[in-house]
Amino acid sequence: QCDLSGWWKNDLGSKMRVFKVENDGTFSGEYHTAVSSAKNPPQPSPLVGSQHLDEDGQCTFGFTVNWKKFSDSTAVFVGQCFNGEDGKEVLHTSWLLREKVDSETNDWKATR
């Protein structure tokens, strides 16, 4: 069983801490981004998510990060946990970031 609890680090140096995965798969934590285009310096940001608890341990999950402490944007991540060849758990994720724009006309540039 993949345990998302604890600290995770990505290739760009960002870190995520999941406090505890509940029996129903829900979890919360904080995300420490190492990359940002915001004008203000990055701050640890709250995250909430859900993990699909599969018996084979290679579960899917998703979570939302609210960058409210330094930015007007929100990100969502989806991914899967794999048991790597070296015995370590590895997370593979994709993400979308939604930035606030000043008008509906500029909606085209709000998501990346």
**Separation of alpha carbons 102 and 112, rounded Å:** 16
* Contact by Cβ (8 Å): 84, 66: no
| The pair of three-digit structure tokens given for residue 21, joined into one six-digit string | 């995965």
**pLDDT(39) > 80:** no
Classify residue 25: in a domain, yes or no. Answer: yes
Classify residue 16: in a domain, yes or no. Answer: yes
Classify residue 108: in a domain, yes or no. Answer: no
Q: Which residue has the tokens 């993990």?
A: 51
> What is the pLDDT at residue 38?
65
Number of domains making up the chain: 1
Instruction: Identify the domain containing residue 79 by its residue range.
Output: 6-100
For residue range 90-108, list pLDDT tens digits in order.
999 999 999 999 999 999 9
Instruction: Choose the most confident range, by mean pLDDT, from 36-40, 84-88, 90-94.
Output: 90-94
> What is the pLDDT at residue 43?
78
Residues 101, 104, 109, 110, CA torsion sign = positive
Classify residue 110: in a domain, yes or no. Answer: no
To the nearest 10°, report the CA torsion of 102, 105, 110, 112.
Answer: -160
Q: What rounded mean pLDDT belongs to the chain?
A: 89
**pLDDT(83) > 90:** no
Classify residue 93: in a domain, yes or no. Answer: yes
